[in-house]
Amino acid sequence: MKILVTGATGSIGSQVIQQLRARDASFRAFVRDRSKGESLGGDFVVGDFDSPESLRAALQGVDRVLLNGTPSEGLVRQHRAVIDAAKQAGVSHVVRISTRGASATTDFLVGRWHGEADAYLEASGLGWTALRPTYFMQNLLRNAESIRNGGRFFGAFGTGRIAFIDSGDIARSAVAQLTHASPRSGAHSLTGPEALTFDEFAAKLSARLGKPVAYVDRPVSEVIENMRAQGFPEAMLGSFKGMFEAFAKGAASQLATGVKDLTGTEPRTLDAFLADHAESFR
Ligand X SMILES: NC(=O)c1ccc[n+]([C@@H]2O[C@H](COP(=O)([O-])OP(=O)(O)OC[C@H]3O[C@@H](n4cnc5c(N)ncnc54)[C@H](OP(=O)(O)O)[C@@H]3O)[C@@H](O)[C@H]2O)c1
Which lies closer to ligand X via its Cβ, residue 34 or residue 282? 34
216 has which bridge partners?
Answer: 154
Which lies closer to ligand X via its Cβ, residue 38 or residue 211? 38
Closest approach, Cβ 132 to ligand X, in A, equals 8
Put residue 127 in one of left, alpha, beta given phi > 0 → left and psi -120 to 50 → alpha: beta
Looking at residues 87 to 146 of the shown chain, list those that interact with ligand X (rule: CB under 6 A). Answer: 97, 99, 110, 133, 135-136, 139
Which lies closer to ligand X via its Cβ, residue 5 or residue 202? 5
The answer to whether residue 247 forms part of the interface with ligand X (CB under 6 A) is no
CA 205 from chain center: how many Å? Answer: 23
Q: How far apart are CA 210 and CA 232, in angstroms?
A: 34
Which lies closer to ligand X via its Cβ, residue 164 or residue 281? 164
Q: Exactly one of 12, 59, 187, 262 binds ligand X (CB under 6 A); which one? A: 12
- What's the CA dihedral at 37, 38, 44, 50 to 10 degrees? 30
**The Cα angle at residue 159 between residues 155 and 164, in degrees rounded to 5:** 75
Q: What are phi and psi of 19, to 5 degrees?
A: -70, -35
Q: How far apart are CA 50 and CA 74, in angstroms?
A: 9
Closest approach, Cβ 212 to ligand X, in A, equals 26
The answer to whether residue 277 forms part of the interface with ligand X (CB under 6 A) is no
The answer to whether residue 201 forms part of the interface with ligand X (CB under 6 A) is no
Residues of the shown chain interacting with ligand X in the complex, contacts defined by CB under 6 A? 6-13, 32-33, 36, 48-50, 68-71, 78, 97, 99, 110, 133, 135-136, 139
